[in-house]
């Protein structure tokens, strides 16, 4: 791919905080950004050159958008794969590609893909009825987690099954086709953030150690408390995924670290990721700048971490503490420009370099 030049336009599907930070990173490199979103007054739109508000399945609107941009990328993984394909059919270059999006959007397909690539996963079974769930519980056992196959995130669309009795009626409560995953008695959760360019070059960031509360990422710290061997295994897994998908852009894989140091893949995100927000101040190239570099056909930037890191999410009303956070000389505060706070909503984050 011929590299884009400053002044060219990068299209982003989605108007959330990740699109906002991508747009800011693109502007720093001289690009204009056009947002396509179904959300009026989105956080990304307010920092971008222009915005199209439309339906992600409106092929005519997508074709018009494709004519006005030089490459298209995504800021959230649930943009329909059909949308990406429609843009390609209209002549746009799209990264990541529709196949990567489609696999990441279905938890059963995602786990099946990991297994086919030799990447360890929890035991899992597809669930399309209560009978399927009963059979899977008999095979996998409890505790386990029942999840929707599609659209769940940040703890949504999940039912914890602590005992076999908890499975009674659980499929009806889920209300959609699902996947049952066996419980992993892990020591910690980590994520690997990697990037791949159109030329096949790959870059890795240091492994993130993550803590969740209520199914939502609350804290990320670096360096992760793992061995160099564990970090190498995470990189190997990410490399296999990137190359198998002919992937372009930033991709994240979340892992459980078991007591023996082995890694169990939880899920992947074909996009920049919450656990990588620390890279804005904490790495020589942020994950957002890296993603823009990748999709624009530029060389990937250095990923060197410059300090020990603590990154804290600001969830709901926590963002109202901005006066105190802004007064803390050690805090780097990022607020996402969302109009209202509500329980469980990511409103911003704070990074501290040690």
What are the start-end ranges of the E strands in 197-340? 202-204, 208-213, 216-222, 249-257, 263-269, 309-315, 331-335
| pLDDT tens, residue by residue, 13-50 | 999 999 999 999 999 999 999 999 999 999 999 999 99
User: Tell me, what's the pLDDT at 152?
Assistant: 65
Task: Place domain 123-182 in its CATH homologous superfamily.
Answer: ATP-grasp fold, A domain (3.30.1490.20)
**Using CB atoms within 10 A of its CB, is residue 314 exposed (0-12), middle (13-18) or buried (19+)?**
buried
Helix (H, G, I), strand (E, B) or coil at 238: helix
Residue 275 DSSP symbol = G
Residues carrying CATH 3.30.470.20, the chain: 188-353
**Hey, what CATH topology would domain 188-353 get?**
D-amino Acid Aminotransferase; Chain A, domain 1 (3.30.470)
Q: Are strands 9-13 and 32-37 parallel, antiparallel or unpaired?
A: parallel
CA angle 234, 238, 239 (to 5 degrees): 115
- The top-level CATH class assigned to 9-94 is alpha beta
Task: Give the whole-angstrom CA distance, residue 196 versus residue 200.
Answer: 6
3-state secondary structure of 114: helix
Query: What are the residue ranges in the chain where pLDDT is below 50?
Result: none
Closest to 311 (Cα-Cα) out of 186, 218, 242 = 218
Q: 322: which 2 tokens?
A: 């901005």
**Is-cis flag, bond preceding 226, omega within 30?**
no
Q: Give 203-215 pLDDT, tens digit per residue.
A: 999 999 999 998 8
């Amino acid at each position: 791919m011929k590299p884009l030049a400053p002044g060219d336009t990068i299209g982003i599907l989605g108007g959330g905080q990740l699109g906002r930070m991508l747009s800011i990173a693109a502007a720093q490199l001289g690009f204009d950004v056009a947002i396509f979103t179904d959300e009026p007054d989105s956080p990304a739109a307010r920092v971008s050159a222009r915005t199209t508000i439309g339906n992600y399945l409106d092929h005519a609107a997508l074709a018009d958008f494709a004519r006005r941009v030089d490459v298209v990328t995504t800021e959230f993984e649930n943009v329909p794969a059909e949308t990406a394909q429609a843009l390609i059919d209209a002549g746009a270059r799209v990264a990541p590609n529709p196949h990567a999006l489609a696999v990441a959007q279905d938890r059963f397909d995602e786990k099946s893909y990991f297994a086919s690539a030799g990447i360890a996963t929890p035991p899992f079974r597809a669930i399309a009825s209560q009978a399927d769930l009963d059979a899977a519980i008999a095979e996998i056992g409890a505790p386990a987690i029942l999840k929707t196959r599609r659209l769940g995130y940040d703890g949504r669309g999940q039912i914890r099954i602590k005992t076999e009795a908890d499975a009674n009626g659980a499929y009806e409560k889920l209300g959609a086709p699902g996947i049952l995953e066996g419980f992993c008695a892990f020591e910690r959760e980590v994520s690997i953030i990697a990037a791949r360019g159109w030329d096949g070059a790959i870059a890795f960031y240091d492994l993130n150690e993550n803590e969740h509360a209520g199914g939502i990422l609350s804290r990320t710290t670096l360096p992760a408390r793992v061995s160099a061997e564990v970090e190498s295994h995470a990189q190997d897994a990410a490399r296999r995924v990137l190359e198998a998908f002919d992937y372009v852009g930033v991709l994240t894989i979340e892992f459980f670290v078991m007591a023996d140091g082995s890694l169990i893949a939880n899920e992947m995100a074909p996009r920049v990721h919450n656990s990588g927000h620390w890279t804005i101040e904490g790495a020589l190239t942020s994950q957002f700048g890296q993603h823009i570099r990748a999709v624009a056909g530029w060389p990937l930037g250095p990923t060197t971490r410059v300090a020990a890191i603590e990154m804290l999410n600001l969830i709901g009303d926590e963002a109202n503490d901005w006066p105190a956070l802004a007064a803390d000389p050690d805090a780097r505060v990022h607020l996402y420009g969302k109009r209202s706070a509500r329980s469980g909503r990511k409103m911003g984050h704070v990074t501290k370099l040690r």
